[in-house]
Structure 1
Amino acid sequence: MATAADNTTGAEGGNGIPSQEDLKLYALQQKYTEEAAKRFRADGISQFVELKDAESGRFRALGEDPWADHAALNAKETVKNGAKYKIVILGAGYGGLLYAARLIQAGVASGPDDILIVDAAGGFGGTWWWNRYPGLHCDVESYTYMPLLEETGYMPRSKYAPGSELREHAERIATQWNLHDKALFRSSVKSVHWDEEAKVWNVKITEGRGPEEKSREIEVQAQYFVAASGVLTNPQIPKIPGLESFSGSMFHTARWDYSVTGGTPEEQNLTGLQGKRVGVIGTGATSIQLVPQLAKWAKEVYVFQRTPSQVSWRGQRATDPDEWKNKIAYKKGWQLERQLNYNSYLTNAPKADQENMVGDAWTQFRAYAAIVGSPAWGIIEPTPEKIGEHIARLYRIDAPHTEAARARVDEIVKDPETAAKLKSWYPTWCKRPTFSDEYLQAFNLPHVHLVDTNGKGVDSATETGLVVAGKEYPVDILVLSTGYRTPALGGGSPAVRTGVEIYGREGKPMDDKWQNYGAATLHGVCSNGFPNLFFTGLSQHASAANYVLTIEVSITHIVHLIATAEAKVGDGSRAVIEVTSEAEEAWSMETMRRAAYFSAVMGCTPGYITSEGEASQVSPDPMVMMKKARQSGWSEGLEDFMRVLEEYRAEGSLKGVEVTPVAVK
């Protein structure tokens, strides 16, 4: 891999002699490489098991929905087997809600039975339904993250909304767009099959009925199928020897057990932790929010760390109603303007004279452009020299920030040994950045203990605790803050990501297409051979730290495709919409041209961004390299991607898309 010192730019660099800055950057990169090497494991992502796939009944039970009101849901009229819908949407989180609202607003879904929303949860909210752990709040500013604020007229109570408020907002959207009777909860879409004769999707669903009733197998038909499930949806735990033998209470943060800890998602008085020793495995974005809350109640808190997070300041504050009215929500279109303003800083592309509307720590992360793209540098040529220059530039931009982050640890944490272990040694783009004005401070408390595993993770578990480097740490309650299955699994295939078997024309599986040839889409939202099927892009799409904005970009485009196609076929006909193989291949080539831009990720410490290091492995097989390149995102960033899509929509002909009318029977 190219290094920062391979491209000298200092005073002496013009003569090919490394400057002092070059040497400093080289030493920093070497430190990053050494730290990453500690964490590489031959088993990669297989070092984890998803709760739903665990052989252990105890672990599978940890994945069950603790919040569903089964009696109330069973009392509702359920979906009839054989029912027909215009649109079936997979997912009832912010993505699914946005799809439904925008389709209704556009007049695409206007009838009472036009939409069916299917979700495994017991209600609306997606990640905000499942996650209710103490201290939970969004890490992106509420005003830019919470969807449809302009349309609902809602003012978030604080700059970073807590989980309960985010869940309430999901209900607010569902109420405003009359979606409660259009949702089938506790249900999983098992497969979708394209019916060539009827020109519809046959959707097979398993509806859960709670522990007291047998589940139902249902099949419905849909003219359109939309995969709107989230990115991090499948909780996982590490395969720690002996973990099942632990005799205390144990649960995953995505399924918090308030019967053990005391309190509720709204009133987080964790009286059940008094006098208890609590162990937390994991130090990612969840633990950064959680640990300070545990520290307020537990007798002892042990935080087991494999890789420290980079922790920046948070700056939480209540929303000022006057500021909200006169400066934030002061005009039509304010939310999109604010979202793009925020995104410009993360893509290293703010205008020279613009106001920083959000003004939080995220907007200081210029080098986050390494994974979300930037219009500042154009397309990076796939040569060692150009890739080296690009990586060096990113390291130079990032180094002052990471140095400041490590210095912040020294300023806050009083014990030098603990502070040293809490410092992150990797570029900002390698792990989801975190934000807290309480987490680092918690390690100054005498009953909060950092158990650093030097990158190895927990060695084993016993009936009474966890073992690291031969020492057992006794705990009464074990909290698994161990994240989710990587969204990059299966090369970003929508079938793999959603866990749905998708069979298109001639019964061909979508997963086979992705695995054999790599990603193949038009604009990251649809694929040849799978008519009338749409998804929110990960591959061949742009991305952003604010995932709601990414979803909104996809939805705007998909709604246009459907609405324009239906206008073309006119009344009395249904539209079959399918991208041509030529158009998706041309688009795939465009994304492949941009793959070299994202090469800086190759040097990252293992984590979900790199599929636990698997994505960093370089294969000499040209076919493997090509498939990886086809998974690339849009290297010029989300706003430039929006421009490309807007130009496509303005042209008006749905170039590269075949629209076939089907008579309505």
Structure 2
Amino acid sequence: MTATEADQNGVNTTNGTNGSGNTDGHGANGSLPSQEDLALYTAQQKYAQEASKRLRPEGASQFVQLKNADSSRIRSLEADPWADHAALNAKPAAVKDGATYKFVIAGAGYGGLLFAVRLIQAGLASGPEDIRLIDAAGGFGGTWWWNRYPGLHCDVESYTYMPLLEETGYVPKKKYASGPELREHADRIATQWNLHGKVLFRATVRSVHWDEEKQDWHVRITEGRGPEEESRDIEVRAKYFIAVSGLFSNPHVPKIPGLDSFAGQMFHTARWNYHVSGGGPDDWALKGLEGKRVGIIGTGATAIQVVPQLARWAKEVYVFQRTPSAVNWRGQRATDPEEWKTKIANKKGWQAERMANLNAALSHELKDGEEDMINDAWTKLGGYCATIGSSKWGIIEPTPEKIGEHVARIYKLDFPCTEATRARVDDIVADPKTAASLKAWYPSWCKRPTFSDEYLQAFNLPHVHLIDTDGKGVDSATSSGLVVGGSEYPLDVLVLSTGFRSPAVAGGSPGIRNGIEMYGRGGVSVDNKWQDVGAATLHGVCTSGFPNLFFNGVAQSVGAPNYSFMLGVSATHVVHIVGEAERRAAREGGSRAVVEVTKEAEEAWSMEIMGHAAFFATMMGCTPGYINSEGESLGVPTDPKEMFKKSRASVWSQGTATFTRRLEEYRAEGSLRGLEVTVVRV
């Protein structure tokens, strides 16, 4: 392994250390290493070896989004299997061609709903024509509309994940809510805030252009109307445009030679085909798989939930694995009504407090004696702060010595957790060879942790077979099955549990991430801006040259395993900005406001983010996957400009509590510092 390869694969060569802060596996100050030091050193070598197997020069381009596939068969797998086209076509059009709306929100999942509700609660969208939501799905829910595979549950505790529980008064049925329950909750929110008549489903925003003369956004939309009717193009005006794409909105598949030639049934988990499997989204009796040989490609968070369901019904199950998941215990249980009333939802602001508690536990920021409210496998992940940040150790100086100390500390915190996860495999899986292949050799932060009390157990069944590709992936497909290592595995049904395009693509540009062409002042493309200078925002929600345009933050915002928390932080902040700008315009006798971040303010914020980015040096030791865009984010750029841009795309490094406090202080100060507000008087 060359020095460059070692650096890219998790062996820190910048300061002559092995990534644990020691040289050659020795203890601190030249002392003899402890048994723990030696075990950690050995594990890190294994981490590097396993990561190197999976690094491919094509990076994310080894996958293709379903909608962009050359094969019409693969493209067809993206179609919405749940939309009731006849019913939707019979309804009056929620969005009228040529109309002007105060707010147009791209997205009607939990993110779009949260933004809409906060705007309504603030009195900013009270009129019948004030707000419209646009979504490609046939109903509310975002990822919970599309994903209806058997076994589907949220992996974060439902009491913290399901938004607006306090406002709706809803009590989740279990600690980890099922997919149907999560989808129902989206409808519940839409009903309570009267949003059903204010959304255009089966529609995509193609582009937005800022109109300098009219001082608003020209929004181009295409509405699909099902296989029996032609789609229609719509153009509207929006005083404010908000893009709220989810993290899991672009399903993709690996470019497996011959995949479209497979003669059996095939579908993606993001568009489960119950016509093939039998059962339904609310009924996981997969009788259509009885007597069938079923293959599933992928062993990520989705497959962890799906495989046990397949094992209950199929004659044979073949699980094709490139990289194993770390599978922690789940501990699912029903919500106890007494506990709910007396300990969980027992005071105003309980859900926000609970969200903050989860973040604090993961960031090692719980105060002495403070309760771990969630107390599940998430909060036992000692090193997960590596991806969401922490204020516990302050800002990491970008020197080889300080980075080495920081990396060593986080690896040491994480090691007992990863060791326990691997030991759990041995405790559960009977066959030693299968158990060895199911062990995850990477730090806990490198891939989405998974949680199940059924997945590992499934491999003790005689008809469930692990086909470990040793990091290479499936070689090819034939008309009758899949080929791995020269052996063909005949299949009747193929399930593609192959995930989604990473939100880190293009540095998290809001245009590419949301699939919308965004053109601001002077016709400048936001994607070109991101490509030229890197991420450039104020607080992760707006960028200069794009007035009255906001987005949910990824780059330069806050990170957390609970995406609803992140959405809530962005929605609250954006609504404050808009509300204060509108109040200012009203005081000055204007009809509305145009608000835009200054270049100076976004550059100051970008430099602050960049100055904290050394915290995330731990990510360099990761195996390729969704989080790092299949390894594209792992390499150290040799071009200083590219290194500069890469650092700007980081999230806030000092933990969620300091981020939210920073934004609260900004809002309390009240001046909209760093934002220019123009009063429109017509």
Q: TM-score, normalised by structure 1?
A: 0.99
Contact kept in structure 1, 2:20 and 2:409, CA below 8 Å: no
The answer (yes or no) to whether the contact 1:465–1:473 under 8 Å persists in 2 is yes
- Residue 365 of structure 1 aligns with an amino acid whose one-letter code is L
Partner SS, residue 488 of structure 2 = strand
Partner of 1:54: 69
One-letter identity of the residue aligned with 2:488: E
Number of the residue aligned with 2:678: 660
In the alignment, structure 1 residue 651 sits paired with structure 2 residue 666? no
Distance 2:681 2:37 in 1: 67
CA distance in 2, matches of 1:26, 1:548: 37
- 1:346 is the counterpart of 2:362: yes
Residue 464 of structure 2 is aligned to residue 448 of structure 1: yes
- Name 1:494's counterpart in structure 2: 510
User: What aligned pairs does 1:138-157 form with structure 2 within 5 A after superposition?
Assistant: 138-157=154-173
Q: Give the aligned partner of residue 540 of structure 2.
A: 524
Equivalent in 153, 159, 174 of residue 137 of structure 1: 153
Question: 1:13-412 to 2 correspondence within 5 Å?
Answer: 13-15=28-30, 18-78=33-93, 79-412=95-428
Separation in 1, partners of 2:615, 2:167: 37
Distance 2:199 2:137 in 1: 11
Deviation of 1:349 (Å): 1.3
Amino acid paired to 2:617: S
Could you say which residue in structure 2 is the equivalent of 1:588? Answer: 606
- Name which of structure 1's ranges 65-74 and 340-349 shifts more when overlaid on structure 2: 340-349
What whole-Å deviation, never above 9, does each CA across 1:170-201 have from its counterpart, x for those lacking one?
00000000000100000000000000110000
From 635, 639, 648, the equivalent of 2:653 is 635
Percent of aligned pairs sharing the same letter? 68
Write the letter of the residue equivalent to 1:619: P
Cα separation, 1, equivalents of 2:26 and 2:386: 26
C-alpha separation between the residues in 2 aligned to 1:24 and 1:294?
Answer: 37
SS at the partner of 1:110?
A: coil
Distance 1:77 1:284, change over 3 A: same
Residues 520-550 of structure 1 deviation map (CA, whole Å, 9 limit, x = unaligned) = 1100100000000001111111110001001
Alpha carbons of 1:43 and 1:219: their partners in 2 closer, same or farther (altered >3 Å)?
Answer: same
1:624 lines up with 2:624 in the alignment: no
Note the alpha carbon deviations across 1:99-141, whole angstroms, 9 max, x for none.
0001000001110110010000000000000000000000000
Kept in 1: contact 2:20–2:411 (CA 8 A): no
Looking at structure 2, the residues matched to 478 and 9 of structure 1 have their Cα atoms a distance apart, in angstroms, of: 46
CA contact (8 A) 1:249 1:477 kept: yes
Please tell me whether the aligned partners of residues 101 and 130 of structure 2 are also in contact (alpha carbons under 8 angstroms).
yes
Amino acid at match of 1:354: E
In 1, the alpha carbon distance for the partners of 2:593 and 2:242 equals 15
- Give the whole-Å Cα distance in 1 for the aligned partners of 2:38 and 2:456: 31
Q: Deviations over 1:551-607 (max 9, x none)?
A: 101111111101111111115421000011111110011000011111111110000
Quote the offset at 1:639 in angstroms. Answer: 1.2
Within 1, Cα distance between the matches of 2:35 and 2:300? 34
| Amino acid paired to 2:49 | E
Structure 1 vs Structure 2 CA RMSD: 1.2
Q: Are the aligned partners of 1:594 and 1:633 in contact in 2 as well (CA < 8 Å)?
A: no
1:534 equivalent in structure 2: 550
Amino acid at match of 2:272: W
TM-score w.r.t. length of structure 2: 0.96
Q: CA deviation at 1:20?
A: 4.3
What is the distance in 2 between the residues matched to 1:376 and 1:33?
Answer: 27
CA contact (8 A) 1:8 1:18 kept: no
> Is it true that 1:612 corresponds to 2:630 in the alignment?
yes
Counterpart CA distance in 2 for 1:257 and 1:557 is 39
User: What is the DSSP-based 3-state SS (H/G/I as helix, E as strand, rest coil) of the residue aligned with 1:609?
Assistant: coil
Measured at CA, do residues 120 and 418 of structure 1 come closer, stay the same or move farther in structure 2, by a change above 3 Å?
A: same
CA distance in 1, matches of 2:105, 2:96: 17
Query: Does the 8 Å CA contact 1:345/1:365 hold for their aligned counterparts?
Result: no
Structure 1 pair 156/9, CA: closer, same or farther in 2 (3 Å)? farther
Q: Give the Cα–Cα distance (whole angstroms) in 1 for the partners of residues 465 and 37 of structure 2.
A: 37
8 A Cα contact 1:10 1:20, kept in partner: no
SS in 2 for 1:49: strand
The residue identity in structure 2 corresponding to 1:254 is A
Give the distance between the partners of 1:544 and 1:280, measured in 2 at CA. 29
Partner of 2:591: 573
CA contact (8 A) 1:10 1:19 kept: no
Q: Deviations over 1:601-651 (max 9, x none)?
A: 111000011111111111210000000011011100111100111111111
CA shift for structure 1 position 18: 4.5
CA deviations over 1:316-338 (Å, ceiling 9, x no partner): 01111111111111111000011
Instruction: Give the drift of 1:23.
Output: 3.1
Any conservation in 1 of the 2:20–2:404 contact (CA below 8 Å)? Answer: no
Distance 1:6 1:332, change over 3 A: closer
Does residue 478 in structure 1 map to residue 478 in structure 2? Answer: no
**Secondary structure of the equivalent of 2:633?**
helix
Q: How far does residue 447 in structure 1 lie from its aligned partner after superposition? A: 0.5
Q: 1:19 Cα shift?
A: 4.5
Tell me what 1:422 maps to.
Answer: 438
Q: Which residue of 1 aligns with 2:15?
A: none
**What amino acid is aligned across from residue 45 of structure 1 in structure 2?**
A
Long gaps (5+) in structure 1: none
The answer to whether the Cα contact below 8 Å between 1:10 and 1:21 also exists between their aligned partners in 2 is no
Q: CA deviation at 1:508?
A: 0.7
In the TM superposition, what is the alpha-carbon distance from 1:7 to its structure 2 partner?
3.6
- What secondary structure does 1:4 align onto? coil
- Counterparts of 2:190 and 2:34, CA distance in 1: 59
1:127 corresponds to which letter in structure 2?
A: T
Contact 1:13 1:19 in 2 (8 A): no
Q: Which residue is equivalent to 2:573?
A: 557
Contact 2:25 / 2:38 at 8 angstroms: preserved in 1?
no
Partner-residue secondary structure (3-state), 1:225: strand
Partner Cα separation in structure 2 for residue 16 and residue 271 of structure 1: 62
TM-aligned CA deviation for residue 268 of structure 1: 1.2
Distance 1:9 1:108, change over 3 A: farther
- Contact 2:148 / 2:179 at 8 angstroms: preserved in 1? yes
Aligned residues: 664
Distance 1:486 1:396 in 2: 28
* Match among 525, 528, 538 for residue 512 of structure 1: 528
| Matched AA of 1:63 | E
Contact 1:246–1:465 (Cα < 8 Å) also in 2: yes
Structure 2 CA distance for aligned equivalents of residues 532 and 328 of structure 1: 38
Counterpart AA for 2:504 = A
User: Do the aligned partners of 1:4 and 1:22 also contact (CA within 8 Å) in 2?
Assistant: no
Query: SS at 2:426's partner residue?
Result: helix
- Using the TM superposition, give the Cα deviation of residue 21 of structure 1 relative to its aligned residue in structure 2, in angstroms: 3.4
Q: 2:619 aligns with which of 585, 597, 601?
A: 601
